[in-house]
Amino acid sequence: MSQQRLSFDDVHVGDQAPEKVHKLTRTDLVRYAGASGDFNPMHHDEVLATAAGQPSVFGHGMFSMGFLGSAITDYVGAGNLTHYKVRFSRQTWPNEVLTTKITVAGKRSEDGHDLVDLDVRLVNAQGEEKVIGEATAAVPSAS
């Protein structure tokens, strides 16, 4: 995906970033475990996960946060994100299709920086919110 060139002058409250879609696979869980060092068996061991009362293994929360974060930086530009905060509202499951939802919630100038505030969410195909958060980016003016 090409890098979005967002300009403070051209962005408006209510604008939405392009959505990013990903089908979560068990391979994603294994790769993320290896990359992060998070080998909690709930993310890779079906037998232990079901014994613990889960319907299956489930995704790492930080994988979901990272996927959403990559959609944010695609929109605002690498290096422009100044604040990113989320809460995990539901687990993600293998074979779920996850979609990012990023909406411009506000614009402001502060300490010589033009800032764009974003409402950020990760949802599944049924519209269930998996991750809910907020982000702020310093976005250059067109001038």
Find out whether 121 and 16 touch, Cβ atoms under 8 Å: no
Residue ranges of E strands in the chain: 21-23, 81-88, 97-110, 113-124, 129-138
In a domain, 106, yes or no: yes
In a domain, 11, yes or no: no
Total domains present in the chain: 1
In a domain, 69, yes or no: yes
1 has pLDDT over 60: no
Range of the domain at 122: 21-138
* pLDDT single digits (tens) 86-103: 999 999 999 999 999 999
In a domain, 57, yes or no: yes
Is the backbone of residue 112 left (phi > 0), alpha (psi -120 to 50) or beta? left
Instruction: Look up the CATH number of the domain holding residue 40.
Output: 3.10.129.10
Q: What global pTM score does this model have? A: 0.92
* pLDDT single digits (tens) 6-50: 889 999 999 999 999 999 999 999 999 999 999 999 999 999 999
